[in-house]
A and B are shown apart, each in its own frame.
Chain A
């Protein structure tokens, strides 16, 4: 069965304390691994798409990496405004089509 698991469920960091969020998957025929950020009461905001093992993408304090079994979202020197729920999702059908989401990691960054 295709599924994606995110860990930890919740993470509390001090401002400046770097860490990583994990997204492990068992998907046959993965066509894309996506990372989104979601603030309370809002829709998800796109961060990254990764397509092949070894691929890495960066945006400000965030860096996403992909292996054959998992993806990591590294957060370097986080700030309180990075507090949000981070969701990973996969696509089986290629491109930006039907996405299946993990349960998310709720990140809280304290000053």
Chain B
């Protein structure tokens, strides 16, 4: 079964509103989680690295004030898209590293549509 749970699977929101996406590691503690976005027929683009108990590290070109990341516990990281606009519509995917198994597990993704 899934070891990383991502919620919601899809969300539709109005322009200007904020949307929160959750990523949970179900059977391991993840000190590090990663957030990616993916446009149709394109690959995953790393947005940021989420570290438990500290600030996230954002990739070049990603607005940290727009994409708020919180990693308050060892099993939960959240991505909040603030003041969403249609160009933010995309598929967002999280991943979590299980240090005990030396594997990186991905969530099932969240399709965000901003109207």
Contacts and interface: CB of A to CB of B under 8 A. Distances in A.
A104 B36 CA distance: 15
Contact of B106 (A44, A97, A104): A44
Interface residues of A, number: 20
A96 B109 contact: no
Interface residues of B, number: 26
Nearest to B91: A41
B6 interface: yes
B93 interface: yes
Q: Is the interface of A mostly helix, strand, loop or mixed?
A: loop
Which among B41, B102, B104 has the highest number of chain A CB atoms within 10 Å? B104
Interface of A: 34, 36, 41-46, 87, 95-104, 106
Given A98-B34, A101-B44, A101-B46, 18 more contacts: A41-B109, A42-B108, A43-B6, A43-B93, A43-B95, A43-B107, A44-B106, A46-B103, A87-B43, A96-B98, A96-B104, A97-B32, A97-B104, A98-B46, A98-B49, A102-B43, A103-B42, A103-B43
7 contacts: A36-B106, A42-B108, A43-B108, A97-B32, A99-B95, A101-B46, A104-B43
